[in-house]
Amino acid sequence: GASSMGGMGAGDADSAASAAGDEAAAAEVAANVDHVLVGLLYIARVLVQCGARLRVLAINEAINLHYVAFRECIMPRRDSNCGKCQSVASRRAAFGLVHELAVLFPQFLIRLVQRHYLTVLDENGSTWEFGYDPIQDSRAAVGYVGLYNPGCVCYGNSVLQQLFMTPRFRRAVLDAVDPAKDPRESVLFQLQSLFGWLQESERKCKDPRPFFAAFKDLDGNPTNVRVQQDADEFLSLLLDRIETAVKGLPQEAAITRTFAGKVVNKITGEKCGHVSDNQEPFQVLSVAINGHASLEEALSAHTAGEPLRGDNAYACGTCGHKVDAIKRLCIRELPPTLIVHLKRFEFDYETMLKRKLNSRCSFPEFLDLKPYMEATLAPETASDEAKAAAAAASHYRLVGVVVHTGTTEMGHYYSFIREDRAGGPTRGGAARGDAAAVEDVGRTGAMSRWLEFNDKTVRPFRFERLEAECFGGEDVTWVYDEATRQFVSRVTEKARSAYMLVYERETRR
C-alpha cells in the first residue's frame, strides 16, 4: 500500500508471504505432468521418424505437424488460449518433436522459422519473444483469471470482478440474449464477453479495453482508460445501463433484483401523528463514516431521527400548518446482495479541496440489518410491505471488499472476494479441491476461501489480515533516520482502506 512507501510496514511481510505462495503454486502446476499429452507427443515423434525412413511422410504434412506442435502446444498466439504444454515434461516432448522435424527436413528449416518463429516476435513484441513461460501467462494457480490494466481502469477491474463473483448476477448476464445490432457498441455484449473469458479462459488475464470502448462516458465517447474514476460512480452507472439493456428479457428480474433495495424518508408529526413518506430505490447503500468508528455506528447515525422544529418545522399537508416533526431515513427492503459504499471522499470547505478520510472504520463479517429497518424504527407507521421485509432474512455475511489505496488525486483500487465453493465458478484450484480452498466452513456450511483480485494478479488472501488491510486508521512503519543512523518507528495514517463492501444474505440461519 501507499502507506508503506519509504519503509517496511506491517503488510510487507504478508506481501512477501503471498508472493512466495504464488511461486509455490506455479511450481506445483509446472510439476503436474499431463502423461497423456506427453505420450501422444512421443508417439508423434516416433511416427515422424518411421515415416521419414519409409518415405511416406509428405513434406506438407511435416510442416503442418510442426505448426500444430509449435502453435498449439508450445507458443500459442496472444489472442488464443494457453498452449497445451503446461508442464516441463510436456514442453520437453513438444520441443523434441519440433527438433525431429527440423533435423529430418533441414531444407525447410528457414521457411519454418520465417513462417512461425518470426511471426511470434511480430505478434508479441521484444519483451515476450522466446522467454514465453506458459505458467506465468496462464490462469492463476488459485483458479481465476485477472483483468489487464491498460492505464487507470483499476476502479473498473475491481468492480467487474465483484460482479463476476456474484453467481446470480453472472448467470443472468451470460444467459441474456443481447438485442443490440452492433456487439462492439453493446455494453451488455461486451460484459458477457468479459464474463465468458473470466469463466472459461486459461489465460492469466483478460484485456478489458473492448468493454470500456463500448462503455461510453456522459458525452457519448469511449471511456478514457488513462483517466482514473470513482468505483462507486462506475458501478452505479454500469448497473443502470445493464438494466436498460435487459428490459423485456427473461433475465431482467434476476439482474435488477440482485442489488435492488428500498429506503424510505419518513416525516412523522410529533403531536398530530400524521406521516409522510417518500420511498426511493437503491442499488448501492451510501453511508457517511466521518466521525464514526464502525459501520454499525454509521448506520445508526444514518437512520437516526432528526427533529424538525421552529423555523425548520414541517408543513403538514393534513393539518394545513407547520408542526413539530421527526424526520427519519429507514431501510424498507433489502436485496439478496447488499453493496455498501463507505463515503471516504468528501469536500473540505476550509481548504475548498476534496479529501480522503483515512480514519478507522471497522465493519463486521456478519451484519444484522434489522435495527435499521422501517419495521423496527417506526413500527407504528410501518406498512405491511415493510413488516414483511423485516420478517424476511436480515442477516448478511461479508463476501467482498473493494479497497482504495492512495489519495483523492492518485490512487489504486483492488478487491478482496470470498469464494463460496457452492456458488462460485468451479475452475482451476477451486475445481481441484486444493487445501487452500478448504480454509473455513461458514455458517451456511459451504467451504470457502478469500482471494485478492488486483488487476491481472489473483492470489490467496488471509482473512485474518482484513482488519489491517481494510479498516483504515494508523499504521506503524520503520524508516531509516540519518541523524541516529538506525531504523525508527513512525505512526502514519494508512492510505489503504475499504471503499465498498459486498454482503450476501444468509439464507440458512
Beta-carbon contacts of residue 422 (< 8 Å; ≥ 6 apart): 444, 446
Position of cell 509428405?
A: 58
**Which cell is 483 given?**
541523524
Position of cell 423496527?
A: 376
Quote the pLDDT of residue 27. 52
Quote the pLDDT of residue 357. 93
**Which cell is 115 given?**
513462417
Pairwise CA distance, residues 306 & 313, whole Å: 11
**Which cell is 28 given?**
506445483
Partners of 415 in the β-ladder? 402, 453
Pairwise CA distance, residues 121 & 196, whole Å: 28
**Which cell is 422 given?**
457452492
For 117: left if phi > 0, alpha if psi spans -120 to 50, otherwise beta; the answer is alpha
Quote the pLDDT of residue 150. 94
Quote the pLDDT of residue 233. 96
| Catalytic pick among 85, 404, 412, 470 | 412
pTM: 0.76
Pairwise CA distance, residues 83 & 60, whole Å: 23
Position of cell 439464507?
A: 507
CB 384 within 8 A of CB 421: no
Question: H-type helices in 426-505, by residue range?
Answer: 428-432, 466-470
Instruction: Specify the DSSP class assigned to residue 70.
Output: I
Q: Which of 207, 190, 200, 193 is nearest to 82 (CA)?
A: 200
| Catalytic pick among 73, 85, 116, 154 | 154
Instruction: Specify the DSSP class assigned to residue 223.
Output: P
Beta-carbon contacts of residue 30 (< 8 Å; ≥ 6 apart): 86, 87, 88, 135
Beta-carbon contacts of residue 5 (< 8 Å; ≥ 6 apart): none
- Is 163 exposed, middle or buried, given 0-12, 13-18 or 19+ CB atoms closer than 10 A? buried
Pairwise CA distance, residues 374 & 305, whole Å: 12
**Which cell is 271 given?**
403531536
For 249: left if phi > 0, alpha if psi spans -120 to 50, otherwise beta; the answer is beta
412 tagged catalytic: yes
**Which cell is 190 given?**
461486451
319 tagged catalytic: no
Quote the pLDDT of residue 56. 64
Q: Which of 6, 2, 155, 8 is nearest to 469 (CA)?
A: 2
SS (H, E, C) 323-355: ECEEEEEEEEECCCEEEEEEECEEEECCCCEEE
**Which cell is 366 given?**
456478519
Reported residue count of the chain is 509
Count CA within 13 A, CB hemisphere, residue 369: 32
Could you list the pLDDT tens digit for every one of the 509 residues in the chain?
A: 333 333 434 444 445 445 555 555 555 444 566 888 888 888 888 888 887 666 666 666 766 777 777 777 777 655 556 677 778 888 888 888 888 887 877 766 666 666 655 554 444 444 444 555 666 778 888 989 999 999 999 999 999 999 999 999 999 999 999 988 899 999 999 999 999 999 988 888 999 999 999 999 989 999 999 999 999 999 999 999 999 999 999 999 999 999 999 999 988 888 888 888 899 999 999 999 999 999 999 999 999 988 898 888 889 888 888 898 989 899 999 999 999 999 999 888 888 888 999 999 999 999 999 999 988 888 877 777 777 776 677 899 999 999 999 998 889 999 999 987 435 443 433 433 333 333 443 333 345 799 999 999 999 999 999 999 999 998 888 888 888 888 888 888 999 999 999 999 987 65
Quote the pLDDT of residue 192. 96
Strands 337-343 and 285-288 come out as: parallel
Pairwise CA distance, residues 391 & 336, whole Å: 14
**Which cell is 314 given?**
414541517
Quote the pLDDT of residue 453. 97
Instruction: Specify the DSSP class assigned to residue 129.
Output: G
- Measured between its terminal Cα atoms, the distance across the chain in Å is 37
- Is 455 exposed, middle or buried, given 0-12, 13-18 or 19+ CB atoms closer than 10 A? buried
